Amino acid sequence: MNIKFSYQYRDGANYKNHHEVIFSNKIELPIEEIKTRILNRLISTEFFYADQFGLPDLHFDKWDNEIDHLWHEFIDVEETNEMNTYGDVSDFLIMIEKKIKFQPQY
């Protein structure tokens, strides 16, 4: 099973951009372990900087200093049969644990 990582950017006016990336799971890590390892790297167990996680930035085209901020919001991870679009989840986990920018392998 592959792993779907869902996240969003929500600005101060509550406008949202959602996105998902699909990782392979070559060594078959349990979904509970994957989620725990991700949660341990988040700010207040829900926020992260997309560039530090090597994920696409979901900010809107025009920056508004009154409502925009830098962080993104983690939604969930789940198992999926969808095609891998973003490399392997174990590489992603190692990267966020070491805070090394992730370079997806397509």
Q: Is residue 106 part of a domain?
A: no
Q: Can you give the pLDDT at residue 76?
A: 98
pLDDT digits 0-9 by tens, 50-97 = 999 999 999 999 999 999 999 999 999 999 999 998 999 999 999 999
**Cα separations (Å) of 49 from 17, 21, 45, 101?**
15, 15, 13, 11
Count how many domains the chain has: 1
Return the percentage of the chain with pLDDT > 70, whole number: 93
Partners of residue 10 on adjacent β-strands: 16
Domain that holds residue 23: 2-98
Q: pLDDT grade, residue 104 (50/70/90)?
A: low
- Give the predicted TM-score (pTM) of the model: 0.89
Q: How far apart are CA 43 and CA 27, in angstroms?
A: 27
Q: Is residue 76 part of a domain?
A: yes
Q: Is residue 105 part of a domain?
A: no
Q: How far apart are CA 88 and CA 97, in angstroms?
A: 15
